[in-house]
Amino acid sequence: MTIDILTLFPNMFNGILNESIIKRAINNNLVKINVIDFRAYSTFSNMQVDDTPYGGGKGMVLMCEPVVRAIEDLKKEDSLVILTCPQGKTYNEKMAFDLKKYKHLIIVCGHYEGYDERIRNFVDLEVSIGDYILTGGEIPAMVIVDSVTRLLEGVIKEESYFEDSFTNNLLDYPTYTKPRDFRGLLVPEVLLSGNHEKIKEYRLQEQIKRTKERRPDLLKRENEK
């Protein structure tokens, strides 16, 4: 997979792309991630990419031309163009699984007061990571990159993510490690039994219990299918 990220602040991505699992995935050629400053597509000598909004109002608005020129330069037949936007579809694990099927993602990060509305005519999907406002689309883009990359073949073991929270509309089960007794807080006996069937049953029951307590909406969503 190739992921092209269009942003005004490419240095914001230095950390996520140079640490941990994503760095290993890049080094192992399992994913290629390009961070592109779309100021390079400005038609102005001063690299301007924003301007005041028609009709008045506060802030600066990203102009159509540099963003669309960047999209058109990068886009291929099998590309999916994503706009990070508070008005988009709320991101979730199912969407991450859907996105991992594409060979090429283009993620457009907004900033300032917003986009020229006409940019929406050149994107395939608008994505929001929650009902709150950030200073720009870089953090949502990082969320998408991280969640999709870890699902790509060879990045991590499949069993690691098939038991994650949200994969089956259940939260993950509790996990423990040494010591067995920490200040009177004990590891459940079933996990020490060596009986894998009982451990599997225990973990499923804990998933259901935890989901009922913390995210009953997930169970309701599953029952409505």
**Mean pLDDT, residues 194-219:** 94
The answer on 209 and 103 residing in a single domain is no
- Same-domain status, 92 and 176: no
State whether 97 and 174 are in the same domain. no
Would you say residue 133 lies in a domain?
A: yes
Is 150 among the residues known to form the active site?
yes
Residues 114, 14 within the same domain: yes
Per mean pLDDT, which range of 116-120, 169-173, 204-208 is the poorest?
169-173
16 with 118, same domain?
yes
Residue 92 is predicted with a pLDDT of 93
As a whole number of angstroms, the distance between CA 198 and CA 177 comes to: 18
Domain containing 16 equals: 2-149
User: Does residue 58 sit in the same domain as residue 130?
Assistant: yes
- Residues 178 and 127 both lie in one domain: no
Residue 57: pLDDT band by 50, 70, 90 thresholds? confident
Could you tell me if 104 and 213 lie in one domain?
Answer: no
4, 37, 150, 206: the active-site residue: 150
For residues 57-62, average pLDDT: 88
Predicted local distance difference test score (pLDDT) of residue 58: 83
The C-alpha atoms of residue 17 and residue 130 are separated, in whole angstroms, by 23
Please say if 86 is a catalytic residue: yes
156 located within any domain: no
Catalytic residue among 86, 172, 203, 215: 86
The SS3 of residue 72 is helix
Rounded to an integer, the average pLDDT of 109-132 is 92
The single residue of 65, 113, 126, 172 carrying the catalytic annotation is 113
63-90 tens-digit pLDDT = 999 999 999 999 999 999 999 999 999 9
Would residue 158 count as lying in a domain? no
Query: Which pLDDT does position 91 carry in this prediction?
Result: 97
What pLDDT is recorded for position 208? Answer: 93
Same domain, 142 and 192: no
Quick one: 13 and 119 in the same domain? yes
Q: Please, are residues 115 and 83 in contact by the beta-carbon 8 Å criterion?
A: yes
pLDDT at 62: 93
- Asked if residue 160 is part of any domain, the answer here is no
By mean pLDDT, which of 106-110, 148-152, 170-174 is the weakest? 170-174
Among 46, 83, 85, which residue's Cα sits nearest to residue 67? 83
pTM: 0.85
Q: Is residue 37 annotated as part of the catalytic site, yes or no?
A: no
Q: Indicate the length of the chain as a whole number.
A: 225
